[in-house]
Amino acid sequence: MKKKLSFFATALACSALLAGCNAASVGQSALNQAVNSAMLAAAGAAGVPSESAAGSASAAASTSAVTYTNTDRHFSFTIPAGWAKQNGDPNSETVLFMIEPIAKTCSFQFHMTRMQQDFPAEASVKASLDSAKKDIAIDKNLSAKRRDQSGMVNGKQVKLVRGWELTEKGKAGSPQRIIYQVYDRQNYYINMMAAAETEQFEACRPALQQIIDSIKFGG
């Protein structure tokens, strides 16, 4: 019995640690840094003074929706027209897309890390989802739900990822986010986040939710 309690306590601790790391990695300073870097890069490439970069549009912005696939972790996602990749690689461990002009701050990014094979992913998902739902009651989140995905592998129906999705309640001067977090069958933890500054979130929300909804895992 003590061993089981210890195991579950470890899962809760790991879940709390991941939640803390997530908040730190996708917080205000990180988003601002990404925006500023993208502005400077766009300005430098175009020979535009950095003060004018916020209003400039990148030639890399797509004219139609584009579906990308991460072949390593077997998932795809669709970026709407008018967005451009700012850094990273869709087939790597991290990437950042933003709407043009980037002064609008609407963004989508993911990052991933491999957990130990015996990491209790199911317990972590349950604990994290429970915490996210409780945050609705204290006005930190708007919604939270379980979101697993299943599919066929070698002719058998299996659970491809186990995860949860939440939408935050905005706070002036900070990013407001829709976050989808999963563990895949190899215990990779993948954090996928669509965000905008709170003041711009509602205008961006349909596109942000569309991107999150488009995320599909395959065998």
Following DSSP, what letter does each residue of 78-144 receive, concatenated? EEPTTEEEEEE-TTSSEEEEEESSGGG--EEEEEEEEPPTT--HHHHHHHHHHHHHHHHHTTSEEEE
Tell whether the model's pLDDT for residue 37 goes beyond 60. Answer: no
Q: Which domain holds residue 198?
A: 2-217
Q: Report, as an integer, the average pLDDT of 204-214.
A: 98
**pTM of the predicted model, to two decimals?**
0.77
pLDDT-derived band at 102 (thresholds 50, 70, 90) equals: confident
∠ CA 118-26-164, nearest 5°, is: 50
Let me know: does 165 contact 178? Beta carbons within 8 Å. yes
Q: Report, as an integer, the average pLDDT of 75-83.
A: 97
Of 180, 217, 196, 189, nearest to 83 (Cα)? 196
Tell whether the model's pLDDT for residue 42 goes beyond 80. Answer: no
Tell whether the model's pLDDT for residue 191 goes beyond 50. Answer: yes
Let me know: does 188 contact 61? Beta carbons within 8 Å. no
pLDDT-derived band at 77 (thresholds 50, 70, 90) equals: very high
The domain tally of the chain equals: 1
